[in-house]
Structure 1
Amino acid sequence: MSSQVVRYWPLILMHLLLSSGSGATAGKVPAIIVFGDSTVDSGNNDYIPTVARGNFPPYGRDFEGGVATGRFTNGRLVTDFMSEALGLASSVPAYLDGSYTVDQLASGVSFASGGTGLDAMTAKIASVISISQQLEYFKEYKERLKQAKGQAVADEIIAEALYIFSIGTNDFFVNYYVIPLRRAQYTPTDYASYLVGLAEDAVRQAYELGARKVMLGGIPPFGCVPAARTLNREAPGECNEEYNRVALRYNAGIRDAVVRLGAELAGARVVYLDVYDVPSAIFASPSEYGFENVARGCCGTGLIETTVLCGMDEAFTCQDADKYVFFDSVHPSQRTYKLLADEIIKTTLQVFLA
């Protein structure tokens, strides 16, 4: 080492220390922290009194070990594939699963609950975990992390983690259309605006708790899920285009919210998570993606079964879920989730890795 370098080494070291502060750092994601509904529930509903569960066959049959973990599909979720792509665990643990240690939860955790929504009423319908309670669990998680790892390490994990919000479909499909509780109070446009406001509030609360890298998801074209096709009175078996228009309207609002949040939340990076375009492309040309069935789920008759009904009709369940876009009448198959994850990893995730 030259004498000049030795002479200035203390200054160089101080610069390196100061530049590695608590702000979000590009390219560094030590954990993935998830809020939402059944699209990202790793099994939290297994530990609460609700019928909205997926901890029995045929769910999980293509998961490692063939275990029904509580994920509402035959295998892994988008967030599991994203975690693996980040060099973390191959699956994201459910927070309420007591078999995981704090060390395991330190690199990823899901607070999500199948059947929930942004609207507190949606969570009440299915007796599941509201988004506000998920944020309370996050507070608890932070404290557990501090106790196990120490304040400095815990603060770094919280600041550098990737936060994903995947929620909103149940608010429309269940709480507005199937059980029209909110339809008596709101037009579709007004309800979409109300939900966008709730989504913004959830991100703000996560920000106050330390979140700095946030993906705020839209919702998929839920008018094309098998259950929606079955319930489509005007064109049975076809996509309900009204539902899809509502999804697009809501997604436009979420995009605008992302811009507002990005301008408002100092030091945070908030990006829109598109979960509409990939499924739409698959619905338009399923054979191009290797699918043989887009209108029915693999489970049971594929027309209406989900959660407990899926378990009751196991004898009718398909042999190869990879040929099906959906595993049950509402939830995508592992292969569909993988295709969506691949697109997210290739595009949106890179924002946080550049």
Structure 2
Amino acid sequence: MQAKTTLLLSLIVFFNILFFLPPLTNTSSSNITAIFAFGDSIFDPGNNNVLSTIVRANHLPYGKDFPGHVPTGRFCNGQLTTDILASKLGIKQVLQAYLDPMVSNKDLLTGVSFASGGSGLDELTAKENNVLTMENQLNYFEQALKRMQKVVGQKEVKYIVEKSLFMIAAGTNDVCDNFYTLPTRRYLSLSGYHDFLLNSLEDFVNDLYEMGARKIVVAGLPPVGCLPVQVTINSFLPSFHMFQRVCKLQQNLDSQNYNNKLQALISRLQATYSGSKLIYMDVYNPLLDMINNPSAYGYDRIHEGCCGTGSVEMGPLCNKFDPTCVNPSKYIFWDAVHPTQTTNEHLVHNFQQTLLRQLVD
């Protein structure tokens, strides 16, 4: 009788252990020790807060749904994709900004973001907005490595970097600002400008690889023609009826052409880099699916942001004087460019379902 009771208790303990085991997406299964992010406002958690630029989000209503309802500098009502992914992988609750004075050397061991809102692969884009260039971001990463070595030593830092996930998102500001809106780079064809951007990206990825990065994810362009600010601009063009809010098809096709070239570049680099994993992150199709099938995701507003009129407000134009929607989760976009936290959650879910297994050792 006692033996049967002991066996029963053992089985109960065993199945309880199985039940409470962490999900397969945590650090132990993905073997990702840290996340380091680079690029523009999509990944910027507040680096611009300490820069002399108007491209900032450290004011309300930004952050209204962030823990503590604090405007941290994230261009969102809540968390960015990098925050959500870091949490789901069991690395940390949020991915801090490198330039945040509260970030310690120890914090760097699990990753930070060097991204800067308003930046781009074209150095001119960042300089026009007085924000961090991609080269600046790389220099800060080099500085971070030295700070990390003070905590755990060079050998351990090398191991951490090799196991870390490096994420890059840039290019949208370049095509929207320096090609579509301003004539800055119009001496190039659009295809030529895409090549120019991808050459810059290739140099950046090469530098990351030389610095030890082995797991690199590069996000493609979103459907640029569906960004609320682009919809607004294009609604006044002669080919459209006044105030008609629809996606600009040609700009979406342009984004697809860029993404096709980007995927070819990543395939070529993957074949070149020994022991590395370079992955293209598709943002275009998941986001377009949300726009084309909003009810499937619980959305009812697709062509305007939650902040203000949702047509042009972003950065300094989205401020405490602007009314915001009652329920941001019903909106794909928070302001005229940036996704809501709910949209970011959908994007991370797609990343986990389609790409995460490729990064597992």
Q: TM-score, normalised by structure 2?
A: 0.89
Partner of 1:347: 354
Partner of 1:15: none
- 1:18-167 alignment, distance < 5 Å: 27-167=30-170
- Percent identity between matched residues is 39
CA distance in 2, matches of 1:294, 1:223: 12
CA distance in 2, matches of 1:154, 1:162: 14
1:281 deviates by 0.3
Partner of 1:292: 300
1:313 deviates by 4.0
Do the aligned partners of 2:179 and 2:185 also contact (CA within 8 Å) in 1?
yes
Partner of 2:192: 190
Find the partner of 2:255 among 247, 250, 253.
247
1:245 deviates by 1.1
Do the aligned partners of 1:45 and 1:53 also contact (CA within 8 Å) in 2?
yes
1:337 aligns with 2:337: no
Do the aligned partners of 2:54 and 2:316 also contact (CA within 8 Å) in 1?
yes
Letter of the 1:328 counterpart = D
Do the aligned partners of 1:304 and 1:329 also contact (CA within 8 Å) in 2?
yes
CA distance in 2, matches of 1:301, 1:54: 17
* Distance change (3 Å), C-alpha of 1:26 and 1:269: farther
The worse-fitting range, judged by mean Cα deviation, of 151-160 and 127-136 is: 151-160
CA distance in 1, matches of 2:66, 2:108: 19
Do the aligned partners of 2:61 and 2:319 also contact (CA within 8 Å) in 1?
yes
The worse-fitting range, judged by mean Cα deviation, of 230-239 and 159-168 is: 230-239
1:26 deviates by 8.6
1:312 deviates by 5.3
Letter of the 2:206 counterpart = R
1:125 deviates by 1.3
Q: SS state of the match for residue 319, structure 2?
A: helix
Partner of 1:11: none
1:250 deviates by 0.6
**4+ runs deviating over 4 angstroms:** none
Q: TM-score, normalised by structure 1?
A: 0.90
CA distance in 1, matches of 2:254, 2:248: 10
Q: SS state of the match for residue 68, structure 2?
A: helix
Do the aligned partners of 1:84 and 1:91 also contact (CA within 8 Å) in 2?
yes
Partner of 1:8: none
Find the partner of 1:217 among 216, 219, 227.
219
1:111-143 Cα shifts (integer Å, max 9, x gaps): 000010000011011111000110000100011
CA distance in 2, matches of 1:172, 1:309: 21
Do the aligned partners of 1:301 and 1:313 also contact (CA within 8 Å) in 2?
no
Aligned residues: 328
Do the aligned partners of 2:41 and 2:116 also contact (CA within 8 Å) in 1?
yes
Do the aligned partners of 2:61 and 2:320 also contact (CA within 8 Å) in 1?
no
CA distance in 2, matches of 1:219, 1:340: 13
Find the partner of 2:172 among 164, 169, 173.
169
1:322-345 Cα shifts (integer Å, max 9, x gaps): 111100001111101110111001
CA distance in 1, matches of 2:198, 2:256: 12
1:274 aligns with 2:276: no
Partner of 1:9: none
Find the partner of 1:229 among 228, 231, 247.
231
* Distance change (3 Å), C-alpha of 1:89 and 1:288: same
Find the partner of 1:326 among 323, 333, 342.
333
Do the aligned partners of 1:229 and 1:240 also contact (CA within 8 Å) in 2?
yes
Do the aligned partners of 1:298 and 1:327 also contact (CA within 8 Å) in 2?
yes
Q: SS state of the match for residue 312, structure 2?
A: coil
Partner of 1:5: none
Q: SS state of the match for residue 270, structure 1?
A: strand
1:199-239 Cα shifts (integer Å, max 9, x gaps): 11110010011101110111100110111110002334111
Find the partner of 1:256 among 257, 264, 268.
264
CA distance in 2, matches of 1:283, 1:126: 29
Q: RMSD over aligned Cα, in angstroms?
A: 1.3
**Unpaired runs of 5+ in structure 2?**
1-27
1:148-204 Cα shifts (integer Å, max 9, x gaps): 221121111111101001111000011111122112x11111111111111111100
Letter of the 1:113 counterpart = S
CA distance in 1, matches of 2:30, 2:294: 35
CA distance in 2, matches of 1:121, 1:245: 24
CA distance in 2, matches of 1:269, 1:295: 36
**Unpaired runs of 5+ in structure 1?**
1-24
Do the aligned partners of 1:299 and 1:313 also contact (CA within 8 Å) in 2?
no
Partner of 1:317: 324
1:311 deviates by 0.4
Partner of 1:203: 205
Do the aligned partners of 1:160 and 1:212 also contact (CA within 8 Å) in 2?
yes
The worse-fitting range, judged by mean Cα deviation, of 326-335 and 185-194 is: 185-194
* Distance change (3 Å), C-alpha of 1:266 and 1:26: farther
